[in-house]
Amino acid sequence: MKIVDARGLHSPEPFERVVDALSELALGDQLKLIINQEPRPLYRFLESNRYAYKAESFPDGRFEIIIWELPAA
């Protein structure tokens, strides 16, 4: 699993890092994004581009999002 730790980065850098990492992700692999705020614009991008995700929030304010590519229809 590839990890992108985007805590402390300013927009649009977290989004850009995720998109770059996704371009290198093999089908069946997962990406974990760690970030300080919920990345709602990223969710829309993922849903529009055949990616699924599972988001979890933590008491310290961070979010961890697991992302994977959906198989072609």
Query: CB count, 10 Å around CB of 46?
Result: 20
Q: What is the pLDDT of residues 4-61, one digit of tens each?
A: 999 999 989 999 999 999 999 988 999 999 999 999 999 999 999 999 999 999 999 9
The pLDDT value recorded for residue 71 is 87
What value does the mean pLDDT take over residues 60-68? 97
Q: What angle do CA 57, 61, 65 make, to 5 degrees?
A: 35
Q: What is the CATH number of the domain that holds 53?
A: 3.30.110.40
The pLDDT value recorded for residue 26 is 87
Question: How many domains, in total, are found in the chain?
Answer: 1
Provide the domain limits for residue 64: 2-69
